Amino acid sequence: MRITGGKARGIQLSAPKGRATRPATDQMRESVFSYLGAGLKGARVADCFAGTGAYGLEALSRGARGGLFVENSPEVVSCLQANLAAVAKSCELKTIEAWQILPQKVYALNHRHGPFDLIFLDPPYAMIESKIVAIFSENITPIAAPNARICLELPGDLVLTFPDWECLRRLGKSGKDRPSVAVYQRKKTTAQS
């Protein structure tokens, strides 16, 4: 697993041994970031259920100005810290103060943590159907900037809708337990059109 583009392209990311994480594949991240394009420059990013930090670190490498990694496993957080240090060094950042690791559950996020222009959600597949709608509404929407895009990794056979949000694009494969990413943005109201 490596950074696929930007200043830190090629940097290897480490992951804890075992199945504690399910990192996004290089190919999936390349597809997502190709779709997001130049909109990353200067963006504030939140990587929720961060694991190794692959999505947020990819954004850092490609020009995001700061962000937050949310991960509650102590073992995974230590791995994420090492990955952040390696990518920041490759990007020649003098300080990583703009990039914070929040060692807690996503359920604790609220409006004080935001706003973010780009939010990545890569939750365990086992919890998506039962909990992601509540998390999206109660924890993610409050930290999203008005024009934020939210990238949710989920099984390819699952279609999710959220009040006041629309799916702009679906990337990846269809089928049970095959990874895909749905990119959401707030629905435009008549006043915004």
Domain ranges of the chain: 34-95+103-159+171-186
3-state helix, strand, coil in the chain (%, to 5): 35, 25, 40
Domain 34-95+103-159+171-186 maps to which CATH number in 3.30.70.600, 1.25.60.10, 3.40.50.150, 3.40.50.300? 3.40.50.150
pLDDT digits (tens, 9 = 90+) for 33-77: 999 987 788 999 999 999 999 999 999 999 999 999 999 999 999
Which residues are CB-contacts of 92 (< 8 A; sequence separation ≥ 6)? 7
In this predicted model, what pLDDT tens digit does every residue of 167-180 receive, in sequence order? 999 998 787 778 89
Average pLDDT of the chain is: 90
Alpha-helix residue ranges (DSSP H) falling in 92-180: 125-135
- Give the rounded percent of residues in the chain with a pLDDT score beyond 70: 94
Q: What does DSSP assign to residue 86?
A: H
Residue 4: exposed, middle, or buried by beta-carbon count in 10 A (0-12, 13-18, 19+)? buried
